[in-house]
Amino acid sequence: MVEGDGVSPARQRLQGAADEAWYGTALSNVNSSPGRGTPLASSFLDLPPALITEIFKHLNARELSLVSCVCSLFRGLSSDSHGWKDFYCERWGNPVPGVSMDADPVFSERTWRDLYVARETRSKAFLGRYQTDMMNGHSNAVRCVRLLAPANLIFTAGYDSILRIWDLEECLPLSWSWPLGTTLRSIAVDMKMLVVGGTDANIRIWKGLPDLKHIFDVGGACASEIVLSGHEGPITSLSMDDFKICSGSWDMTVKLWDRGSLACIRTLIHRDWVWAISLRGQRMVSSAGSDVYSWDVETGRCLRVRAGAHHGQAYAVECSRSGHFVFSGGEDGIIRMYEDKVVRKKGLEGRVEFLEELNNEPIAFWQPHSGAVHELAFEDPWLVSASGDGALAMMDIRKVRKRNSEFGRLAEYVKVKSPWTVVSTDAESPQRMLFGSKQCFYSVDVGSDRIVSAGEEQVVKVWDFSHALEIERRVQASRMIRLERRFKRKQGLQLKTKQHNEVCNSMSKKDVDSEGAVVWQGRGIKIKG
């Protein structure tokens, strides 16, 4: 709700869109009707379904769900609305990367609304019970771990210079490379490409083989490996999408590579060692020294620098899939959340001009660790951090969203001042802490129902929440059975007590025997009448 106003922003947007649509329909009817007797649309329901669907596009996911409860017409229109596809992909991307939902027979029978609700429900699993598995194989500390959920694979690398591939379900090794002769510090992977960076300043690439169970032939012939050179210092971080590969290095640069030609297309200069990068479409976020940068990768323009974001080095940076929220973690053990919208408008002669927003302050922060934060991983709505204190912190950002704004879909570019303000200077509390090691955690990755972490302990740890919802359902069912049995026992006890009281009451009353004597049952005395 807006302070000082009794009408919510959602209702204002819906009412404004409805009024605009109604007046447009009325004007159209007036212009097209030959006589004055033609009736105009007198209510929202009189509008054409196609127009109502267009109005629904102004709503966010929560508002669209509420509208679907109004009537059967709204439920049908809201369920078929393509807005649910935008809601889903904005938060989690394509359900199966590289595969169209319409072409997949499994997904074609489900609507985007069903997928959205199922994924939102599944996110509650991280509050439930988990199982842990540990994978041994590395002979030295593990610097990086990545999860490829669609293929049920885990990729790890570290100081022993060996890249390993593990089965996510069985937690068993599938393949590993020959020693690559350098510390491997970063991994980026999808279904078609595996990219690894090390301290020798080289980037190694393997292309996917669909017929191979573990997709990438890292232990095969050297001919399957592609090496990119260009950096002058160790590669510390990698990120990629369908078109670009980004690499960050201690040479104080981030290089953008064309994924098709593998040619370097742009170099972004920083003021210190680059520690982490996160690429999201046209936007990229990086951390160098203690600063956090925001970039437009199409133009190479630096949109924003948050100088001194952390006391000490800013080791970790992550952002939401839409790019609107940025998270950073550093040597001070603090995790900060920023809103990263940028105003973009057309200037003279059609040129695009960027205006940096004035608010560079964090909208929330957490301080769950006693050591440095080495890496962050985000799977909406969960942010997970790996720290030098040997713990993982799990933070649900929905609380921050709900408190700071209207909790809705955010446009990519806005024309008004950012609504985000810092309403509290107190640190947020993490929803959950996972204590799995007495040694430093260097890396963490998160999927829809699993968390994978690794560090100095040379062990890769998998936190499996895939059965949490089922376990919770069984626990609830068992609790209901116990409550029902307890209620029945209580009812039986009350019935027995009632019957006993009735017997006692009847025995306490006087009665007359066959001889006409009054018998006092309580005393056993007979009195002749």
Give the model's pLDDT for residue 404: 61
Percentage of residues in the chain having pLDDT higher than 70: 75
Burial class (CB in 10 A: 0-12, 13-18, 19+), 94: middle
pLDDT tens digits for 389-409? 999 999 999 878 776 654 333
What CATH number does domain 142-269 carry, 3.40.50.150, 2.130.10.10, 2.60.120.10, 1.10.760.10? 2.130.10.10
pLDDT tens digits for 180-216? 999 999 999 999 999 999 999 999 999 999 888 899 9
pLDDT tens digits for 317-349? 999 988 889 999 999 999 999 988 766 555 555
The DSSP string of 161-188 is ---EEEETTT--EEEEPPP-SS-EEEEE
The CATH number of the structural domain formed by 271-281+311-406+413-463 is 2.130.10.10
Give the model's pLDDT for residue 117: 85
Phi, psi torsion values for 227, nearest 5 degrees: -115, 125
Closest to 405 measured CA to CA, from 346, 485, 347, 324: 324
Give the model's pLDDT for residue 411: 35
**Domain ranges across the chain:** 9-122, 142-269, 271-281+311-406+413-463, 472-527
Give the total residue count for the chain: 529
CB 166 within 8 A of CB 172: yes
Q: How far from the centroid of its chain's Cα atoms is residue 131's Cα?
A: 21
Task: Write down the pTM of the prediction.
Answer: 0.77
Please, which pLDDT band fits residue 64 given cuts at 50, 70 and 90?
A: confident
